[in-house]
Amino acid sequence: MARWSKKRSTRSILGLVVAGALMLGLIGIFVNGVVTSASSSTSYLSVINQSFATQANAIFTAQEPDGQALSRLLVNMPNLTRPVLEQKLDALATSTAASAASAADTISPAPSAGIGPRFVAIVEQRAKGVKMIRSAVERLLGMTPLPPPGTGGSTPVVKPLISSSEATARLSAAGALLVKADEAVGPLRADLARQPGHAQLKRSVFLTARTLVSPSSMASLVDQLTSSSSLAVVHDLSITAVSLTPAALPTPGATSTNLPPTTRLVVTVVVTNHGTVTENAVVVTASLTPVSGGVSSSASAQGVARPGGALSLVLPALRTKPGSTVTLTVSVPPPPGQNNTSSLTRTYTVVVAPATPNFG
């Protein structure tokens, strides 16, 4: 019985030895796998980080001319004409927005340690700052953004003018955002250099002279813009043509407008904008006032008149009465700031011929 126990004990010890050896082997395989995986991950991140840096540096390089152009524009803006200033603002906004869109493509696959979103934020802040500057200048001066490509020249909605103090506040906020973006580049470069691959981001400065966007500089810029003769805000609308349907009968020497028998009169009015700002709500009203046997009626229509352009509006039909005489008044309320209003009202004496036996 003792011998049997001894043999069984020996077999148990051998079993434990074999099990221990297997366990050590498994641990060795696991440790080796971890080490191999870690080495592979580090190598992978090195490639990703270096690829990211290459793309990011290309975007930073592309932004340098935009930053230089913005600096020049902030100095020369008051001396430009409105069309040239609008073109330069639109070009800067389009270019920086394109850089922001490209930045989003650099972070897939993602570089180490949240580097990607921080880079995108810098590029997007630069684009947003430029957009804020464009918007503030446009609304201070009453300028209209150029129609986006592919829109067929559609007329954008014109936002109300803002005061000088509001423009200064908005421009100062835009400047602060641009400075913040520039200040974020240094820490981003240092953090990326410490990551696997030790990739190098270039030094990127969007604003070469930060004093240009300080609150005091922006206040001075607003004063110069509002006093600039080439950028002056001028409101000048006039009624340049009025036509009737049915058309007036040819009556040489008559002091009245003579119409054939009709119960409805359609008035078409052309309003020309001789000013420098887009008039977003031009309201044209035509009204008939009885002189003899007529009926009162009125109609209105509204549209947008761009600087140097003409707005043609066909008004809803007015009620008329055959055999009557009425006064037709066509008017446009003057926009704020327009002092000469004599060209915004036209008055006609309209004589509607009596109905004939075959009328209606």
Per-residue pLDDT reduced to its tens digit, 143-163: 876 555 555 555 555 677 899
Lay out the sheet containing 345-352: strands in order across: 257-259, 345-352, 325-331, 279-292, 297-305
* Structure confidence by residue, pLDDT tens digits, 294-351: 889 999 999 999 888 999 999 999 999 999 999 999 999 999 889 999 999 999 999 9
CA-wise closest residue to 81 among 230, 221, 228: 230
Cα(63)–Cα(205) distance, integer angstroms: 9
Given this model, what pLDDT does residue 233 score? Answer: 85
Q: Which CATH architecture does the domain made up of 237-352 adopt?
A: Sandwich (2.60)
Task: Say what the pLDDT of residue 156 is.
Answer: 55
φ and ψ of 336, to 5 deg: -55, 130
Percent above pLDDT 70 for the chain: 84
User: Any bridge partners for residue 353, and if so which?
Assistant: none
At residue 127, what is the residue type?
Answer: A
One-letter amino acid for residue 262 of the chain: T
* Residue 353 contacts residue 322 (beta carbons within 8 Å): yes
Which residue has tokens 């003579």?
Answer: 258
Q: Helix (H) and strand (E) counts for the chain? A: 6, 9
The Cα 360–Cα 66 span in angstroms is 68
Quick one: pLDDT band at residue 280, thresholds 50, 70, 90?
Answer: confident
CB 188 within 8 A of CB 119: yes
**Type of residue at 351:** V
Could you tell me the residue ranges of all domains in the chain? 11-227, 237-352
From the list 161, 155, 136, the residue with the least C-alpha distance to 277 is: 161
Greater pLDDT, 122 or 208:
122
pLDDT for position 19: 47
Through-space distance between the first and last CA atoms of the chain, rounded to whole angstroms = 135
Q: Is the pLDDT of residue 243 over 80?
A: yes
Q: pLDDT-based confidence at 41, cuts 50/70/90?
A: confident
Strand stretches in the chain, DSSP E: 237-245, 257-259, 264-273, 279-292, 297-305, 310-314, 318-319, 325-331, 345-352
At 110, the pLDDT band (50, 70, 90 cuts) reads confident
The whole-angstrom separation of Cα 148 and Cα 146 is: 6
> Which of 30 and 210 is assigned the larger pLDDT?
210
pLDDT-based confidence at residue 360 (cuts at 50, 70, 90): low
Task: Report the 10 Å Cβ neighbour count for 260.
Answer: 14
- Rounded average pLDDT over 165-179: 97
Q: Using the 8-state DSSP alphabet, how is residue 316 labeled?
A: P
The residue among 311 and 17 whose pLDDT is bigger is 311
What's the average model confidence in pLDDT over 239-267? 93
Length reported for the chain: 360
Residue 312 φ then ψ, to 5°: -110, 125
The rounded mean pLDDT for the chain is: 86
Name 56's bridge partners.
Answer: none
pLDDT, tens digit, 9 for 90 and up, residues 123-133: 999 999 999 99
